[in-house]
Chain A
Amino acid sequence: MLTSLYVEGDTFLHRQRPGAKLALILVLGLALYLTERMAVQAVAMAITGAIYFSLPMTFREALYRLKPVLFTIAVLGLINIWLLSPQEAAVSTLRLLAVVFLAAAVTATTRIADFMETITWALQPAERLGIVRAADVSLALGLVLRFLPDIFAHYEGLKQAHAARGIAFRPVRAIGPLIILALKDADAIADAIDARGIRGR
């Protein structure tokens, strides 16, 4: 159900360090937001678009992933043609597309484990100050993926409980009980984690 957006491959982007790729998004974003020249935005969009669509996935898959954001950008672009000017609308639309393509390309070429390593590295200063522990972040991320099926199971259970009693099931009414069911697990899980000494001392 939850599959990472990473795409297996060995392109130039795949081989770069995640920190460098994140920095690239930041630098390109800043650079593009500093200029209003349409030609610059168009070239940037053409390059990042070419990079994104040349990744080892089908064109349909590549397009499908970005459908919601492309739709939003298109709608806002059309509104801006009317609100501002066609020129300004084109500049901001091209810029958004350029940065979105690059960001999507970085997402598709970076493994979750590599992102986690970068997060751990970035958290070092905070860890030294005792604000947050990088290991706790990894633990929490793992727990989310572990809990998700449980929550869907609770939801199904509530549905069946309603059906068994002949009550019409309304998803909205299930939210309260769903949260209570989920929270009730928390104590047992926390005890299990501590019993195994996962967080150390």
Chain B
Amino acid sequence: MTTKDIVLVALFAAIIVALGFLPPITLAFIPVPITAQSMGVMLAGCVLGAKRGAAAALLLLVLVAIGLPVLSGGRGGLNVFTGPTGGYAVGFVFAAYVTGLLAERMVREGQPEVRQFAGFFLAAIVGGIFVDYAFGIAWLCFSTGMPLAKALYLNLTFVPGDLIKAGIATLAARAVLAGYPMLPSRA
């Protein structure tokens, strides 16, 4: 990684932390408040690509592990990982990587706008939602003994909120691609 890559990774980790400070949005038709932090992970992949995006998410986890309350709601410390939802946090790294990988493959400058939107949206859904859920649900089931089917069902309540986040991440990622493209340079 060049010095610039390190700076970009750190900048994005800071952006993810900052997104955690935005007040959670509560929508009438969704039972859980939406926090913007997992959207930051989708954005990391979409804006920086696989390697640097995953590094930004990993850096965030290091901040958590060394005892800084950088996750939304002021959560931090090692108990984040040992708690029942620790899998979602660990999944951030892989989520950013897969999001970035797909975004690198599907989105190019000079493509029609619609294809860029579609590419980012798909990348954010597969990486930011499917991959992160896979880690989250696996640890949730293991740590609480909850049957897989029930955990999947419980997880469904988060899908509408996460789809909205993927949508917002898509708009923002496309704005960044148009205004200040980073994705093509990768790492």
Contact = CB atoms under 8 A, between A and B. Distances in A.
Interface of A: 2-6, 22, 25, 29, 33, 65-66, 68-69, 72-73, 76-77, 79-80, 83-84, 88-89, 91-93, 95-96, 99-104, 106-108, 110, 112, 115-116, 119, 136-137, 139-141, 143-144, 147-148, 150-152, 155, 171-172, 175-180, 182-187, 189-190, 193-194, 199
Contacts of B155: none
Nearest to A101: B79
Interface residues of B, number: 61
Interface of B: 1-4, 6-11, 13-15, 17-19, 21-22, 39, 43, 47, 59, 62-63, 65-70, 73, 75-85, 140, 142-147, 150, 154, 168, 171-176, 179-180, 182
Interchain residue pairs A-B with the least CB separation, the first 3: A176-B175, A107-B77, A143-B10
Given A100-B79, A178-B15, A193 B176 contact: no
A115 B65 contact: yes
Contacts of A33: 142
A61 B84 CA distance: 22
A20 B77 CA distance: 17
Q: Is chain A's interface secondary structure helix, strand, loop, or mixed overall?
A: helix
A151 B173 CA distance: 17
